[in-house]
Structure 1
Amino acid sequence: MSKNLLNLLHHHNAKPIIQAPMAGVQDSKLAIAVCQSGGVGSLPCALISLEKVEQEINAIRIATDMPFNVNFFVHKNPEYTDSVHQNWLKTLQPYYDKLQVDNQNIPLTGGRKPFDKAQAELIAELKVPIVSFHFGLPDDNLLNIVKQSGAKILSTATTINEAKFLISKGVDGIIAQGLESGGHRGIFLDKDLTTQTGTFSLLPNIAKLLKSSNSDVTLIGAGGISDSATVASAFELGAALVQVGTAFLLADECNTTLAHRAMLQSEQAQHTALTNIFSGGIARGIITPLMAELGFINNTAPDFPNASFVLNPLKNADNQTFSSFWAGQNAPLAKTGSAKQIIENLFTKNN
């Protein structure tokens, strides 16, 4: 199956790079720019409506005939009890008091939506070329709807066991997400963070697994890949493609906020950490005072995506203090410029 993925890209003379889908900081504009520059652009769909997904896909199709990727989250919404809510609210109460924000009637809905039947049917109807999933895979019924449409299926593995699971489900590509990676980790089988390894440990081990199992699944390296040297290293360790996120956060076509752009270009970008306080999921971002005050991993934070419910009113009152600034460990290597310039730098030696 995966040879079909590589054949698809080779048929379009695509560069071996996928722009990582980055929910909340990009839309079709970045995906189009990447496709027009010879890469595989990605559209994050976890935060947008079904109607918006269709509009964005149509916009990409009008602008380019290159293959593109659409991405969905497949998390399971956990139970959100009143006790969980009250414990998290108690942790954040000093900030509510300081900002004089009302802590009553907090909306407990919205946010990141898991992949569902309506989305699967839309993707099948629109014949999207590549579909990627984060936090595992949807159930077999939904997965089969996407497969039968002819789409190439990608998903993230953060461990060897997750890679084995994805192989058993017949994916076309495995995105090996190393610990260096910015944003949410795709961890889904075992939430023990000691199982998580760096890109350049994870890649060769998944490559070895694919070889020993005679699998033709395409291996995609992700995490800490921000310049030509790290791109070359990923290929040397067995990746056929690279997926790059943080390096595109400073792209002209990315919707990264001015505050986020400033953080990425400051000395603070040298220090990132994994945290659960913004969404309940484990994600890497530039360290902020809020992360340091609450503890990077706070046990009162509800599971993904529910931690955001109580944090959102504070964010609305003071966006910079209560915002996440997602970034990978090689964020200082990111450069400003167009998506085309960034891709050229990634494939030009000494850049």
Structure 2
Amino acid sequence: MVLDELRTPIVLAPMAGGPSTPDLAAAVSQAGGLGFLAAGYLSAADTAERIARTRTLTEAPFGVNLFAPAAPTPTDDYAGYLAELSRDFPVGEPRFDTDDWDAKLDMLVGERVRVVSCTFGCPSVAEIARLHEAGSEVWVTVTSVAEARRAIEAGADVLIAQGAEAGGHRGSFMDRPEDDVTDPLSLFALLQLLVANVNVPIVAAGAIATGPGVAAALSAGAAAAQLGTAFLRCPEAGTAPLLRDAITMDTPTMLTRAFTGRRARGLRNRFLLDHPDAPAAYPEIHYATGPLRAAARAEGNADAVNLWAGQTHTLAAELSAGDLVRQLSEDAKAALKKALSHRIQGC
């Protein structure tokens, strides 16, 4: 298993839409962790090019992340919302697609990358079997015990436990407004539940930004920690300047569907506050809001663009990815040693 080969139990989160680059993935892998490429929003051909580029930068293992497709949303569910947006912003055409799912699976079977991970759902038993035959491990992002059991039944090798603190899109298999009345599980609540109910390796994800945070996840039963926001300020990341600057500010985060139609955590801004009841319609709303997000980035308008980030975003350091991995690893070891030195009362 790839997790057993890593020199340090640190996994790069696959941050689609810009931050993910071959240079970032390779740097994390070269430093002893596991780098990831985000294939979300890319074609199969573009993803293959990024895989090839990464292989020129490192011989170490790395992974590729896919977005599992959902069903299209009826137009009537989101037409009113887009009409409202169009009065104040440039809005594009909503559309549904499968994010080139089938073509990417075919490509990955041929590329034989060490790890293929999946977000927003789980590949079928047959799809996972194809990837296994090609020599790839399959990791699936889960946000509940029920999702974890489904992933294991399908053949997943590793679970990525995503807590509610995590930046970016929720990895839930279903994104239903009626579920919003239930608090999403925090990382450490989810970890404890998974450790008690499943018997496969777990990678912890959700606002982990420091070595002590990594140590805490390992102590709670995770085999590794996955970090995304922590790498946004690394020079190898393709982070937009607006986001690179914004995460240094002490701005609260919140969950929203306003920009994409799927629940995601980002820095609170005017657009999120003005559209608290955006409908669930992904990826239709994602494509429709593309022009307004592009315009906001061009204007440097942080109030009208998605600024995906986890709850500990102010801890992101401006370091090279390799140095960050090494610092996280050293600090995690120190934190574990310190924790073991404390006597539990009564023992």
Distance 1:326 1:160, change over 3 A: same
Q: State the Cα distance separating 1:209 from its structure 2 match.
A: 1.1
CA distance in 1, matches of 2:105, 2:289: 30
Counterpart-to-counterpart distance in 1, 2:328 and 2:38: 22
- What secondary structure, in the 3-state scheme, does the structure 2 residue paired with 1:128 have? coil
Of 231, 240, 259 in structure 1, the residue corresponding to residue 242 of structure 2 is 259
Q: Which runs of 5+ in 1 are unaligned?
A: none
Aligned to 1:22: 15
- Write the distance in 1 (CA, Å) between the matches of 2:268 and 2:295: 20
In the TM superposition, what are the counterparts of 1:206-225 in structure 2 within 5 Å?
206-210=194-198, 215=199, 217-225=200-208
Distance 2:195 2:141 in 1: 14
Letter of the 1:292 counterpart: L
Measure the CA separation in 2 of the matches of 1:279 and 1:135: 14
In structure 2, the residue matched to 1:57 is: 51
CA contact (8 A) 2:22 2:53 kept: yes
1:201 to 189, 199, 213: 189
2:148 corresponds to 1:167: no
Shift in Å, 1:199: 0.6
Alignment correspondent of 2:341:
none
User: Retained in 2: the 8 A contact 1:95–1:314?
Assistant: no
| Contact 1:88–1:302 (Cα < 8 Å) also in 2 | no
1:252 counterpart letter in structure 2: P
Aligned residue type for 1:134: T
Q: Does 1:332 align with 2:314?
A: yes
Residue 30 (structure 1) shift: 0.7
What is the deviation of 1:34?
A: 0.9
Match of 2:81 in 1: 88
Aligned ranges 1:126-205 → 2 under 5 Å: 126-189=111-174, 191=176, 192-193=179-180, 194=182, 196-205=184-193
The separation in 2 between residues aligned to 1:90 and 1:162, in whole angstroms, is 35
Q: Is the 8 A contact 1:14 1:40 kept in 2?
A: no
Question: Structure 2 counterpart of 1:139, which letter?
Answer: S
Unaligned runs of 5+ residues in structure 2 are 336-347
2-structure distance, mates of 1:241, 1:36: 17
* TM norm structure 2: 0.88
- The alignment partner of 1:95 has SS state of coil
2:263 to 282, 294, 299: 282
The superposition leaves residues 211-268 of structure 1 with CA deviations (integer Å, 9 ceiling, x where unpaired) of xxxx3x2111110210011111001100011111110011110011111011111122
Counterpart-to-counterpart distance in 1, 2:48 and 2:288: 30
Q: Give the Cα–Cα distance (whole angstroms) in 1 for the partners of residues 294 and 80 of structure 2.
A: 21
* Percent of aligned positions that are identical: 31
For 1:86 and 1:157, how far apart are their aligned partners in 2?
30
- 303-312 or 127-136: which moved more? 303-312
Change (3 A) 1:33 1:250: same
Q: Aligned residue for 2:304?
A: 322
Give the letter for the 2:263 counterpart.
I
The alpha carbon displacement at 1:136 in A equals 1.7
**SS at 1:119 equivalent:** helix
SS at 2:185 equivalent: coil
2:35 corresponds in structure 1 to: 41
- Deviation larger for 194-203 or 83-92: 83-92
**Residues 46 and 113 in structure 1, CA contact (< 8 A), matched pair in contact too:** no
CA 1:23 to 1:329, structure 2 compared with 1: closer, same or farther past 3 Å? same
If the length of structure 1 is used for normalisation, what is the TM-score? 0.87
Residues 8, 329 of structure 2: 8 Å contact kept = no
SS class of match (1:70): strand
Match of 2:339 in 1: none
**CA RMSD across the alignment:** 2.0
**Worse overlay, 46-55 or 171-180:** 46-55
Match of 1:107 among 83, 88, 93: 93
**Equivalent position to 1:6, from 3, 6, 13:** 3
CA distance in 2, matches of 1:143, 1:47: 21
